[in-house]
């Protein structure tokens, strides 16, 4: 069991877990889609402990790496993409049970073996990747991981590496997307 020291008191991983009931809702926004509102007391609990990344267990059916996003006016939410909504097999407005635990992984989401192998082999790519912001790192990890086959994940990782190396570590998503279309 993971334990941390906070103000001379041992805190277990169980003590950092929060659960709540909510509903799957849709945002009236061209940028965001489905989301799960997070109670203010849950968001405040984690903010107080400076925990920003989570593993969410939703309806005992879906596990995902996520963040609690601020919605303004003391509202908070977890974003849901179409694939996650489909995996839950629920519709907008239906109730959900959520269990949040801190995500202690290096990048805040799982690193696929193809990307991990390329990072280990290509030191220049690794240097550029590590200098990116955590959000950009997660975007690239997601981009690679979303491919269904190992071969396509590897090809995507190679295109990402070539893009960073050709641009001296600068990430241009528009250029990267064009390069990915040509892979």
pLDDT, tens digit, 9 for 90 and up, residues 98-125: 999 999 999 988 899 999 999 999 999 9
10 Å CB burial of residue 181 (0-12, 13-18, 19+) is exposed
Contact assessment for residue 42 and residue 144, using Cβ atoms and an 8 Å cutoff: no
The Cβ of residue 96 has, within 10 Å, a number of other Cβ atoms equal to 21
Strand, coil or helix: what is 169? coil
Residue 6 pLDDT > 90, yes or no? no
CA dist 166 → 100, 120, 134, 176, 179 (Å) = 39, 19, 21, 11, 12
pTM of structure: 0.76
Q: How far apart are CA 52 and CA 49, in angstroms?
A: 9
- The pLDDT tens digits for 129-138 are 999 999 999 9
Q: What residue has token string 């190679």?
A: 158
* pLDDT score of 11: 54
Q: 57 Cβ partners below 8 Å, 6+ apart?
A: 63, 98, 99, 101
DSSP structure class, residue 15: G
The closest alpha carbon to 58, from 99, 25, 94, belongs to: 99
* pLDDT score of 30: 79
- Grade residue 28 by pLDDT with cuts at 50, 70 and 90: confident
What's the chain's average pLDDT?
90
The closest alpha carbon to 64, from 44, 79, 48, belongs to: 79
Per the DSSP assignment, residues forming a β-bridge with 38 are 76
DSSP secondary structure, 109-153, as one string: SPPPHHHHHHHHH-HHHHHHHHHS-HHHHHHHHHHHHTSSSHHHH
Across the range 150-156, mean pLDDT stands at: 94
């Amino acid at each position: 069991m993971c334990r941390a020291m906070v103000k001379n008191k041992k805190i277990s991983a169980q003590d950092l877990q929060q659960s709540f009931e909510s509903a799957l809702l849709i945002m009236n926004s061209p940028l965001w889609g489905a989301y799960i509102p997070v109670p203010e007391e849950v968001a405040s609990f984690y903010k107080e402990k400076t925990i920003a990344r989570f593993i969410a267990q939703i309806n005992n059916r879906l596990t995902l790496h996520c963040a609690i996003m601020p919605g303004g006016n003391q509202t908070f939410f977890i974003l849901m993409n179409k694939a996650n909504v489909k995996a839950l097999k629920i519709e907008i407005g239906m109730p959900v049970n959520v269990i949040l635990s801190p995500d202690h992984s290096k990048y805040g989401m799982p690193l696929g073996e193809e990307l991990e192998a390329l990072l280990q082999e290509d030191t220049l790519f690794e240097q550029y990747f590590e200098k990116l912001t955590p959000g950009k790192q997660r975007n690239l990890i997601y981009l690679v991981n979303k491919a269904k086959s190992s071969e396509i994940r590897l090809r995507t990782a190679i295109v990402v590496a070539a893009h960073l190396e050709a641009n001296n570590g600068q990430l241009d998503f528009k250029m990267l997307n064009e390069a990915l279309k040509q892979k």
